[in-house]
Amino acid sequence: MDTEARLKQSWDENAESWITSVRGGHIPSRQLGTDGAIVEIVRALSPRSVLDMGCGEGWLVRALAAQGIEGTGMDGSAALIEAARHENIGVFRHLSYEALVADPVQVGGPFDAIVCNFALLGEVLAPLLTALRVLTLPGGHLVVQTAHPLSGGDAAYAAGWREESFSAFGVAYPSPMPWFFRPFGNWVSLLTETGWTLTHAHEPLHPHTQRPLSLLLVARNPA
């Protein structure tokens, strides 16, 4: 199986563990700042409608709903979408990234903002980011939260596949998840090449170590 397929399958296999981790508040970096950062940054853009691409079990759609923002969640995992729908807040679609690329408007829209919260994990992202631009009007926003380039450790500072074991998340996960590490410049080029204009980057810090917890990229659809 190729690595992109293993990535997708890991979400099917880990769905139950993931729901436990997210709903139990067991992911330290999320509690320390990344959950709060994405909600605050989306809220500051004042969108009426948001697409949460790769929404998982749907916590962000619910958090945005609490701010009066209408959210649509989309995910490739049937188990995660089922869990999201069970909470009765927001609209959720079970759709793979490939299906979205093939026919973007089936997910609805146009949206004032699109959010990818730790959801751009594969190597080939240009078709998806191009499709997401179709789902916004000129002036619409894309907000991407991802692993910070400083968090790559002592490995070469170069784009490439890494593996997440979820060992810090408090419950057992059946499958390690492959994910594609990107240096800062890789993200900038990717946005430019898919027609987005990068306007801001936020780097929430760990309150004690003062090291970045994540990288949040805010881009605008220029036309």
- Interface ranges with its own copies (CB under 8 A): 149-150, 156-158, 183-185, 188-189, 192, 197-203, 205, 210-212, 215
Q: Smallest distance from the beta carbon of 203 to its own copies, in angstroms?
A: 5
Closer residue to its own copies, CB minimum distance, 72 or 214: 214
d(CA 27, CA 59): 13
* Paired tokens of 190: 């990717």
The Cα angle at residue 184 between residues 22 and 27, in degrees rounded to 5: 15
Closer residue to its own copies, CB minimum distance, 26 or 43: 43
* Paired tokens of 58: 């749907």
Position of tokens 């990717």?
190
d(CA 80, CA 60): 13
Q: Smallest distance from the beta carbon of 160 to its own copies, in angstroms?
A: 11
Closer residue to its own copies, CB minimum distance, 167 or 210: 210
Closer residue to its own copies, CB minimum distance, 65 or 198: 198
Closer residue to its own copies, CB minimum distance, 74 or 215: 215
**Burial degree of 103 (CB within 10 A; 0-12, 13-18, 19+):** exposed
Q: Smallest distance from the beta carbon of 197 to its own copies, in angstroms?
A: 6
Helix%, strand%, coil% for the chain, nearest 5 = 40, 25, 35
Q: Smallest distance from the beta carbon of 172 to its own copies, in angstroms?
A: 33
Q: Smallest distance from the beta carbon of 202 to its own copies, in angstroms?
A: 5
